[in-house]
Amino acid sequence: CTVHVDGVPIQEPYKQHVNHFNCHWDPYPPTRIPPDAYFVMGDNRDQSKDSRTWGFVPRRHIKGRALLIWWSYEEDAGAWRETGVAARLKSIATKMTHFLTRTRWSRSFRVIR
């Protein structure tokens, strides 16, 4: 999923796509952002529920700037679809078991400029 501003694709060297064929948002229509509002995109844009689903965020609701990426983890494909108590417990157990091997160390604790 490529983001365009005024019709020009923005350069995002930090962007990662695990599954290039699962970008269910393309093509997202050109959208004009109202004054004093922000279009907010999730960090997992291919699967994220963000402004494309929920709408714009009013400026008055924004309290500050992001400071750092605290932790980045490579989740199982489709894990975001699983709901309920059993799925949540499985997710926690998986993270505990694979914390060292699935943590994206190159992204975790990264200061955002």
pLDDT single digits (tens) 60-103? 999 988 888 889 888 887 777 788 899 889 999 999 999 999 99
Cα gap 103→97, rounded to integer Å: 11
Q: What are the structural domains of the chain?
A: 1-63 (2.10.109.10), 65-113 (no CATH)
Whether residue 105 has pLDDT greater than 80: yes
Cα gap 86→109, rounded to integer Å: 30
Q: Per residue in 31-50, is it b (16+ CB within 10 Å) or e — as a string?
A: eeeeeebebeeeeebbbbeb
Q: In the chain, pLDDT over 70 holds for what percent of residues?
A: 84
| pTM value surpassing 0.85 | no
Q: From 83, 76, 81, 75, select the one nearest 104 (Cα to Cα).
A: 75
Average pLDDT over residues 31-38: 92
